[in-house]
Structure 1
Amino acid sequence: MEDKLSTASKDVLVHIVKLAQKAGMKGEHGDWKEFLKFFDKKFGSSMSDPSKRTADDLRAFVLSFKEKEDINYFARLMKSHTNREKVKQLLKGQDTESPEQRLVHLTLEHPHYSLSYSFPSHEEEWFVTKFGKKAKGKTSNTLLAVDCEMVLCEDGTEALVKICMVDRDLQIKLHEFVNPGKPVADYRTHITGVSAKDLEGVTFSIKDIQKSMRKLLSRGEILVGHSLSNDLKAMKVDHAIVIDTSFIFKYGDESTRRRPSLNDLCKTVLGYELRKKGASHNCVDDACAAMKLVLAKIENGNDDVIPVAQPDVPEVEKAKLLVHRIPNDLASEELKQVICGDFTIEIQASKNGKGKNYSAFAIFENPQEALNAYENLQGEENKDSYGRPQKLVSVQLKSGLTSAIYVRKMTLDNSPSQVSAKRSSQTETSGGELKRLKTDHSEEVLEGSSCVDHELEIKRLKKLVEERDEEISRQQNILTALTRKQGL
């Protein structure tokens, strides 16, 4: 391990020491802080942040572990992180980048990459592919696409039950049912297409998959998939050279954080529908679709923005507005004082039990009335994660305090019905400008709205802080899972 440590970058060493800290691991001279007191007589543990210590300090701490179990633990950590560092360095150091390598680069640079591809590959049951001597000077351009199907098990975890891998020519390289290894609670047949009968007598296991991957990915091949991190987690395989088709296409605008579905990309990029609504998945078709998307990107470039797919919303749904983040002390009937028009209210059951807020539908006679009501609302407009427009609207509570709620359309902007409805709700002034119609009732509701502009801004900033806190919490959970080590 000493040789591997000598070539490991400081970033990798910092990450390893932080994980050892988190897991409470102790070497010959104790944990990290105890080691610093022994190792650094001058500063001791007063400077304990690993990122502020030298690479030599970090290596010395790792080398203070002599137990075979600990050495193997660090070796697996280094293998995974060193592989990723090598891929990044190779891609940066090349004078010319192949189209395949460019897509690997795009995947690695995606803002969601670090979160999605943080695997607990230091755990015993995981397999980390070798970077390969053949890839010493360059990465391979060989493409292999994979797709997996998972079921829900009785212990609450998911297990792999089917896998398919195809090559660049869409020839099947691996296609197997997989024994989940534990009791299944839900086969999700309507999604997976797999039933209990399909798995009768199946002995092929995750270990067998990992043996196949050892052979198929031994020369630095590029693994392709849609939301590929989910498939890698299911196989418990950590492979550093990947192209994720949910990362490589520009999708929607910056305010839309949603990643495209495989079916949406097939319709937009390839011009065909992968599966009909309600049809179960087919991992052969899905693996082939991911490969076709990569080949289309290589052939055509396709750097245009992929439009957010317009869901097929029934007319009756278009006649609704979703009102959410409603404070519990704002009665649903009071929404009539906020949203103009004639509508009924339908309270939505909370998914998380009793909380501070609730949601409701404002149901109008037709889509035209719903759109008019939305257009008459005063508030900052943004989009939800699916790209649907919503407004942050100020409301006055009985307590005298001002709060804010979200009012959201049921469809994306610019669908034919939305455009025609929007135009009909406007009238042209003599100067040629379009002016939105307002009812007397809406003017009364909006009276004094300028007094709460600063409060709306505060609400918006608080929401941003909450979203960032949730993101930090998710990353912390992943870090905790990564550091979980049997016996600690």
Structure 2
Amino acid sequence: MPTAKKYKLFAADGADGGVPPCAFFASPAGCRNGASCKFAHVRPTEAAVETGSVVSSESDDEPMPSPSVPIPTTNNKQKSAKTKAKTTQQASPQPQTKQAKKVQIQMDTAPTDDSPFRQSPPKPKKNRRSQKEEDLGPFANPKKKVKSDESPGGHKTAAQEPTPPPTTNSPKPKQQPAKTAVAGFDIRALNLPVASFTMPGTAPAPTAPPQPPAPVADAVSNVQEILPTHTTTGAKWMKAIQQARQHHKYATAYDFVKYKALDAEIGLDPSSTWIQAKPYGEWCKGFPQAIAIDCEMCETEDPVSGKHNAKDLCRVSIVNAENDEVLLDSLVKPSWPVVDYRSRINGITEEHLKGVQFTLRHTQAFLMALCSQETVILGHALHNDLAAMRMEHYCNADSANLFSASDSERSSVSLKDLASNVLKKTMPDKHDSVNDARTAWKVLEHWVEKDGQVEPIVRSMSVKQTFASQLFIHRIPKNMCEESHLSRMFLAHTSIAPTEVEEIEFAGEMGKTHVVFKSPQHANLAFDTLDSKTDTDPSGRLQKKVFLRNGGYIRVRKMAFEKPRDKSPPRRALTTSD
């Protein structure tokens, strides 16, 4: 078998009468054959030299259109054969044009130092490239458009350069983790536009939990009786959930039928706005089985109907109650235009909510991906948070239902007083939902450690002062009385205008609310000025009737305990049976 030549010379058609030009004549060393050379000693403007791999040329006087290097003169047939075999696996060179055939060369050895051009840029020192660069390979971005077959610096583009074989020292490209094929909801596909809200002492940015497959368990017929029976975490919180359900305010506070009816009244469709977690199954075994939640709300108004939503979600925070990880903390875009940001309470202003794209539905998508019906949700006055998120859930441990006040067994205590009594912790004046969620969780941990045998909570003087500045209004007939009516009633009957009338909460056909005055003195004066007989309610607090035009009446009651006036019936007459 004949030995393959290292290179072969050829000329463009019609050049020098068909005599091929001498490739060595134009080199610095010149042609060694002199006049006896059978090739033409001319300085061609374009010629081609084909080696064992691809084609090239060079010139002493001026650079050619493509880079060139001297032809190696060493006898290295083994390297040349390897180079040729390697080249056949790479992309073929660009086709030559009819006007001129560009000269190209593929090196089979390293270029010499005196070469005016380089086939490729010098190899850099060994250093690790970024993952993005590794994914693109060691050459230029193949997506970058180049008009010619060479880069501006005289180097070949990625389409022409052969890819070097991998070495043991080269960093391996990072492999993307394989997606788990699941039939259920993939939380990674949510791409939630989380809008973090930073306050002093807040946690770092949230991370999303893993993706859940579709549930496999059958639905429970009576969701109100659901208990977390499948996990050890659920067993830990079982007693707290059951005892919270025994609280005298639980049935009213967690009456989701009532909340859905209120939504329908303001024009929201409960069938499409409310969610309920899926049954427990294999899909959620690796997820947090206990989470702490706290929300911040603002008041909004429907510009068409004029209806108000006093609990429109504007921030949501969810903490893993197993390892203290912040799962979600985001501002939430309100559903309607805001009429009261309640910045004095939550620190959130109009400027903070500008550009926020995270909505109530994003919150619900997160909850549906994370929670099962047996996920234990911890919080303080948790029914308010669930109503704001439009989520019907029953495995709840509510600290407001598990602790009582030292001065009133039937009264709830604030989270601020719980933190002070139980955790010896001072809460900030403005609410931070991450801090509030964590505090409620820690307080409930104390309840579990004590097996429910906890001391009554001593309420702070500031809370008593706040209570004393309020009057409690109840027996408010549905569809007959609004917040503005109550405000005008006090101004007309007592000449004392309240500073705030809270949203009326209806249970069936009757509602209740609190009317806030500037000070306890203003509240007492407004109560005393009402022209009605004073009596006491079952707890011993003073109250009066205010009659309505249709013959009905509402009750106005003091929040603070006080002995009845002389003109009122003696308290003893209402409590004795003789």
TM superposition score normalised by structure 1: 0.48
Q: Which has the higher contact order (CA 8 A, sep 6+)?
A: 1
Larger radius of gyration: 2
The structure where helix makes up a greater share of residues is 1
